[in-house]
């Protein structure tokens, strides 16, 4: 579920023509785009949806909304724009290194325990690619299921009853996660 999350604008800056800010959400500081709220300034409270401020709110409303979202565990989408910008920067560097004319597809492996909202990342990638050599590229995300090292079975098993990390064969609790935390570019489809 994608929700708008309230936060306080601490600092403004520019990143590749995108008006960005450091925004404080409770005790967490994340970057978010201010492009859709031109009136927002340092000290204002904004509602952030998938890394983009979409409106301003007063301090009391921000505090009430944040508290409810925290209780609902809905604060994972905050990282998507920053991650998308990092992906774009990394892909542009790699494309230049290989003297690629165009990047068609970026393949990404995303583990269920990565803490990244897939839909928010897809959306943010599209925005981050604008006005770059990747503007016509596609981001293809491969979901990586959680695999644990089961101490009872002695082997790698899929976790059942996610988010509880129990062995899908015997039900034993996991001591070690083998896969499921990934956030990695696995492949690029380029035109040389």
Structure-token pair, residue 7: 């936060």
**Same-domain status, 59 and 118:** no
CATH number, domain with residue 46: 2.30.30.140
Interval 68-111: pLDDT, tens: 666 655 555 556 777 888 899 899 999 999 998 899 999 999 99
Task: For the beta carbon of residue 170, count every other beta carbon within 10 angstroms.
Answer: 12
Interval 7-46: pLDDT, tens: 899 999 998 888 999 998 766 778 889 999 999 999 999 9
**Same-domain status, 185 and 119:** yes
CATH number, domain with residue 149: 3.30.2320.80
Based on the structure, what is the number of domains in the chain? Answer: 2
Domain residues for the domain of 32 are 5-74
Task: For the beta carbon of residue 97, count every other beta carbon within 10 angstroms.
Answer: 8
**Which residue is it, tokens 């409303």?**
61
Q: How far is CA 37 from CA 47, 50, 52, 63, 141, in A?
A: 10, 14, 9, 20, 29
CA–CA distance, 147 with 168 (Å, rounded to integer): 9
Assign 65 a pLDDT band (cuts: 50, 70, 90). confident
Question: Mean pLDDT across the chain, nearest whole number?
Answer: 85
CA–CA distance, 109 with 115 (Å, rounded to integer): 13
CA–CA distance, 12 with 178 (Å, rounded to integer): 39
Tell me: pLDDT of 184 over 90.
yes
Cβ within 8 Å of residue 39, ≥6 positions away: 56
CA–CA distance, 86 with 97 (Å, rounded to integer): 17
User: Facing residues of 159 across strands?
Assistant: 167
**Same-domain status, 91 and 54:** no
């Amino acid at each position: 579920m994608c929700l708008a999350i309230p936060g306080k604008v601490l600092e403004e800056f520019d990143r590749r023509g995108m008006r960005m800010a450091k925004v404080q959400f409770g005790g967490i500081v994340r970057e978010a785009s201010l492009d859709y709220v031109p009136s927002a300034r340092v000290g204002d409270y904004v509602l952030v949806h998938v890394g983009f401020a979409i409106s301003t709110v007063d301090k009391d409303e921000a505090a009430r909304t944040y508290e409810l979202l925290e209780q609902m565990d809905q604060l994972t989408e905050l990282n998507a724009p920053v991650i998308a910008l990092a992906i774009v920067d990394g892909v542009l560097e790699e494309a230049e290194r290989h003297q690629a004319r165009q990047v068609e597809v970026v393949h990404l492996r995303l583990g269920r325990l990565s803490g990244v909202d897939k839909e928010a990342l897809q959306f943010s990638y599209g925005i981050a690619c604008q006005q770059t050599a990747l503007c016509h590229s596609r981001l293809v995300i491969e979901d990586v299921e959680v695999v644990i090292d089961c101490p009872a079975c002695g082997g790698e098993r899929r976790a059942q009853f996610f988010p509880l990390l129990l062995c899908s064969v015997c039900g034993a609790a996991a001591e070690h996660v083998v896969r499921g935390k990934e956030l990695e570019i696995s492949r690029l489809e380029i035109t040389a």
